[in-house]
Copies of this chain bind each other. A is one copy, B any other.
Amino acid sequence: MLVLDSMVLFGIFCVYFVYQNLIALETHEMKNSLIALAVLAACGAATAQSSVTVFGIVDAGIARLSGSEGHVIGMSNSGQSKSRFGIRGAQDLGGGLSASFHLEGQLHPDTGTGSAPGGGMNFQRRSTVSLTGAFGEVRLGRDHAPTFWNSALFDPFDGIGAAQMDSMLGASRRNNNSVGYFLPRNLGGFHGQVQYAFGENASNAAPATKAGNYFGVRAGYANGPLNVAFASGKLDTGIAPAQGDVTAHNLGVSYTVGMVKPLFQWAQETSKAGTRPEIKQTAWLIGATAYFGAGELRASYSRYDRKNSANDFRKFAVGLGYNLSKRTQLYATHARVINKGLSNVVVGNEGLSTAGLNAAGHNTSGTELGIRHLF
C-alpha cells in the first residue's frame, strides 16, 4: 500500500517532468520524454542478487607498416581485439527486472597508458547503467553508436588492427550523454535498438557553437546460420551546421555453413556542412572466417568509393589465428591498400605512427603478429 503510494507520487513527478520539458523542448530534444516514461514503467519489487566482475583484454604484438616513402617496425597493441580494462555487474531486482552497470576503458599495453589526453585510464569505451526487464533494456551513459556494431560484427577482423575495414567520414563510434533502448532478447532472433545522445546545447547558445545531437537505430535478425542487421545514425548539428552533419548507414549479412562464416557488409557515410557540397563515401566488404580445430582463417576484400571523385581505394586482408585456449590466441594479419587518384590511405594500427610513410596514389601494407589474452 505504501509502495503504491510512493509509485503514485513518483508517477506524478515524472508526468510533471515530462510536461514541463515538452513545453520548452526543441524538436531534437523530444526523446527524453519517452525515456522518462520508460524509466517510470520500470518500477518493480525490491530484492537483491549481485556480482562484480573485473575483466579485460591485453593484446600486444609486433608490426610492420609500409608505404611508398618508408616503413616503420615496432610494437602494436590491439591487433586482434581492442585492449581494455573494465568492471561490470548486474543485480536481480525480482519480478523479471534487473539493474546492471558496465564500465570499460581502452588500454595501450605497449605504453601502459589509457585513452585520456595525457594517457590516463578512463571508461570511455562504455560507461553505462541499465534497467532490463520484459520491456527490454533502457541504458544511460556513454555507449557505442548503433552503426558501430555492424562495422565490427560484419568484419572478419572485428573492426580493429591493420586488417580492419577502414573508417570513412568520421561517423560516431561511441556517443556521450546517450539514452538507449534495446528490444527484449526473446523475440525469436529479432533484435533492435535506438539511441539518442544529447548535444547539451544551451537554448540561448550561438548557433555556430552548438554541438550535435545524435540519433541512431539498429535492427536485425540472428537465428541459426543467418545473421543480418541494418543500422543508421545521424549526428545532427541543427540550424547552423558549422561543424557538419555526419550520417551513416550500414548493412551486414553473414550465413554460417559448417565451420565457415562468409559475410558481407555495405556502408555509406555522408558529411554536410553549410553550403559546402555534400561528401558521400560508399564501401562494401566481402569476407569470411573459417575455423579448423584450434585455428582460424580470416580474409576480406573491401572497396571504398567517394562520390564524384577518383580518389578511391581497395583493401585486401588475410589473417591467421591459433587459439591456445578460448581466452588466449596467437594471431598474424596482413593487409594491403591499393590507392587510386589522390587517395592516401595508409594501413595503420594501434601503437605505430604512419605519418609520412606514403605519397598519395601509392599502395601501402601492414603486417601484425601478436598475442591476445582475455581475462
Q: Which of A296-328 contact B (CB under 8 A)?
A: 296-297, 320, 322-328
Which residues from chain B contact A20 at a C-beta distance below 8 Å? 64, 367
A261 in the interface (beta carbon within 8 A): no
Which residues from chain B contact A189 at a C-beta distance below 8 Å? none
Assembly stoichiometry (copies):
3
A82 in the interface (beta carbon within 8 A): no
Contact of A93 among B32, B58, B70, B328 (CB under 8 A): B328
Per the bound structure, the CA–CA distance linking A6 and B113 in Å amounts to 34
Per the bound structure, the CA–CA distance linking A69 and B74 in Å amounts to 47
Which residues from chain B contact A199 at a C-beta distance below 8 Å? 74
User: Residues of A within 8 Å of B, CB-based: how many?
Assistant: 126
A127 in the interface (beta carbon within 8 A): yes
A229 in the interface (beta carbon within 8 A): no
Which residues from chain B contact A100 at a C-beta distance below 8 Å? 373
Nearest opposing residue in chain B for A28, CB measure: B73
B176 and A111 contact, CB distance less than 8 A: yes
Which residues from chain B contact A5 at a C-beta distance below 8 Å? 292-293, 295
B111 and A177 contact, CB distance less than 8 A: yes
Contacts A99-B328, A328-B91; is A371 near B176 (CB within 8 Å)?
no
* Segment of A10-18, A159-167, A245-253 engaged in the interface with chain B: A10-18
Q: Which of A76-130 contact B (CB under 8 A)?
A: 85, 87, 89, 91, 93-94, 97, 99-101, 103, 105, 107-114, 116-129
B62 and A35 contact, CB distance less than 8 A: yes
* Segment of A39-47, A230-238, A266-274, A278-286 engaged in the interface with chain B: A39-47
Per the bound structure, the CA–CA distance linking A61 and B38 in Å amounts to 12
* Segment of A149-157, A220-228, A335-343, A348-356 engaged in the interface with chain B: A348-356
Contact of A111 among B17, B58, B142, B294 (CB under 8 A): B142
Per the bound structure, the CA–CA distance linking A279 and B93 in Å amounts to 50
A191 in the interface (beta carbon within 8 A): no
Contacts A2-B293, A198-B74; is A371 near B177 (CB within 8 Å)?
no
CB distance from A206 to the nearest CB of B (A): 10
Contact of A295 among B2, B108, B325 (CB under 8 A): B2
B75 and A375 contact, CB distance less than 8 A: no
Taken residue by residue from 363 to 375, chain A's Cβ proximity to chain B (1 for < 8 Å, 0 otherwise) reads as 0000101111101
A71 in the interface (beta carbon within 8 A): yes
25 A-B contact pairs sorted by A residue (CB < 8 Å): A6-B293, A6-B295, A7-B322, A9-B297, A17-B334, A24-B71, A25-B73, A36-B62, A43-B330, A46-B323, A52-B375, A56-B87, A91-B327, A99-B373, A105-B112, A111-B127, A111-B177, A112-B142, A114-B121, A116-B118, A118-B120, A120-B121, A121-B122, A140-B371, A177-B351
Additional A-B contact list (13), CB under 8 Å, known A17-B367, A32-B73, A52-B55 = A2-B292, A6-B293, A9-B297, A46-B323, A54-B87, A56-B103, A62-B140, A73-B198, A75-B179, A91-B325, A103-B109, A108-B127, A205-B356
